[in-house]
Amino acid sequence: MSSAPDDHSLDMLIRKLESIATLSDEERQAIRSLPAKTRVLQPRQDIVRDGDKPSQCCLILDGWAYRYKLIGGGRRQIFSFHVAGDIPDLQSLRLHTMDHSLATLTQATVAFLPHESLRDLTTRFPSLTAILWRDTLIDAAVFREWMTGMGRRDAFERIAHLFCELYLKLQAVGLAQSYRCPLPITQVDLGDALGLSNVHVNRVLQEMRGRGLITLHSGTLVIEAWDELMRACEFDPTYLHLEKRAAA
């Protein structure tokens, strides 16, 4: 359950941070020395809940997680999807009350990082503070892009845009290549993420398949026509602020 000093679970975090910034050896070492309690969680299990006041952050080591909020009438809004290397609740380091929930999507391995250790890390390495801050700012940039989708893009564009985004995010940390990536997200989830009904998501996916843009089954997405898909939703990856810009 506790990480041995020589396992490399924190390398996922390093890889992620290196996709959005540059790390020095010293910084890498400092991250590796973070204490982390590792745990395997079942699918669809809450990690932190709306209203909680957590004293640790959750680093995803394997599998997928998502953030969401429930409102009246059984409605749900999903804010983000997360994969290995992400710390989806990093904001809890500075916002003490959760205003939404975090849960696993698939079975997942996660590491818990005590706030205390993270605060200590930021005290000793202001340059790491800057990088973690940057990470949360990119998080916000992605929110803005989703807002643009829900406010001003139609269903087709929204879904296409999300696919482009997820592919690049996965590719940036080595979890995707050749326009193929895991996508263990149900159509209901997609709807709740994009402000659509599952029925409509289904119909749009069929259209995307019919136009030869994507293949999607058994949890694998293949983007068959990247350029056309990108053009169809006016995708511009600037907002991901990736250090090593991925293929366009």
Partner DNA sequence: CGCAGATTTGATATTGTTCAATCCTAGTGG
Partner DNA sequence: CCACTAGGATTGAACAATATCAAATCTGCG
**Where does this chain bind a second copy (CB under 8 A)?**
51, 69, 71-72, 75-77, 79, 91, 94-95, 97, 99-100, 122-123, 126, 129-130, 133-134, 136-141, 143-148, 150-153, 192-195, 234, 238-239, 241
Q: Which does 148 bind (CB under 5 to 8 A by kind): a second copy, DNA, none?
A: a second copy
At 226, list the tokens: 């990247």
In what side-by-side order are the strands of the sheet with 101-104?
46-48, 101-104, 65-71, 75-82
Strands 56-62 and 37-41: unpaired
Report in angstroms how near the CB of residue 231 gets to a second copy at its nearest.
Answer: 10
Report in angstroms how near the CB of residue 26 gets to a second copy at its nearest.
Answer: 17
| Nearer CB in complex with DNA: 61/205 | 205
Among 188, 222, 225, 232, binds DNA (CB under 7 A): 188
| Nearer CB in complex with DNA: 115/200 | 200
Binding-site size, DNA (CB under 7 A): 18
Cβ contact 93:55 at 8 Å: no
Q: Which residue stretch of 138-146, 181-189, 229-237, 238-246 sits at the interface with DNA (rule: CB under 7 A)? A: 181-189
Alpha helices by DSSP H, listed for the chain, are 11-20, 25-32, 115-124, 126-152, 155-172, 187-194, 198-210, 226-232
The Cα angle at residue 173 between residues 172 and 174, in degrees rounded to 5: 95
Site string for DNA, 131-170 (x = CB under 7 A): -----------------------xxx--------------
> 49-58: string of b/e by CB count within 10 Å (b at 16+)?
eeebebebbb
Instruction: Please enumerate in sequence order all residues whose Cβ is within 8 A of that of 109, keeping only pairs 6 or more positions apart, or say none.
Output: 9, 38, 39, 40, 41, 60, 61, 62, 63
CB atoms within 10 A of CB 178: 8
| Nearer CB in complex with DNA: 196/240 | 196
| Nearer CB in complex with a second copy: 8/231 | 231
Among 202, 215, 225, 232, binds DNA (CB under 7 A): 202
> Which DSSP state fits 57?
E
| Nearer CB in complex with DNA: 16/153 | 153
